[in-house]
Amino acid sequence: GSPGREPVLRRLQEEVAPLVVVVPAQFTELCSWARPLCSDWITFESAEDSDEANQRVWSAVSAWVKSQASCARELLGCMTYDEWGIEMCAFLCEQLKLPGTPVKTIRQIRNKVTFRDVCAAAGIPVPRYRTVHNA
């Protein structure tokens, strides 16, 4: 993300250091301001398809976890402060057995039609709506 995120990382560094940051390779330069605030930096090749992107980030993170096997450190959590990272963060939490919102729930919430359908099925009132499809 942008350097405007620095106060967030500084606070995390004070509260829960060490920090490990996962960055898509195409954003490495944009995010370089954060590197001095992090203990480790993991990059991965992103993908348009979210399932493929999740597999790629998991491959990079699991390789990092294996490389840290001899250290006494453990991962305590996973978070994102950017929209693009919400599903990926949920996926990593599932894979690492960390607390977090399940990927299925994230996908339901991010799609308005699906979200309304899920709410209606649970008995939660929803406004009338119609789905418009491109011809």
pLDDT digits (tens, 9 = 90+) for 56-87: 999 999 999 888 877 766 788 888 878 888 99
How does DSSP classify residue 27? G
**Residue 126, pLDDT score:** 94
**Residue 77, pLDDT score:** 86
Instruction: Tell me the average pLDDT across 115-134.
Output: 92
**Residue 75, pLDDT score:** 80
Q: Could you tell me if residue 97 is left (phi over 0), alpha (psi between -120 and 50 degrees) or otherwise beta? A: left
User: Of the candidates 82, 77, 81, 83, which has an alpha carbon nearest to the alpha carbon of residue 99?
Assistant: 77
Instruction: Tell me the average pLDDT across 94-106.
Output: 94
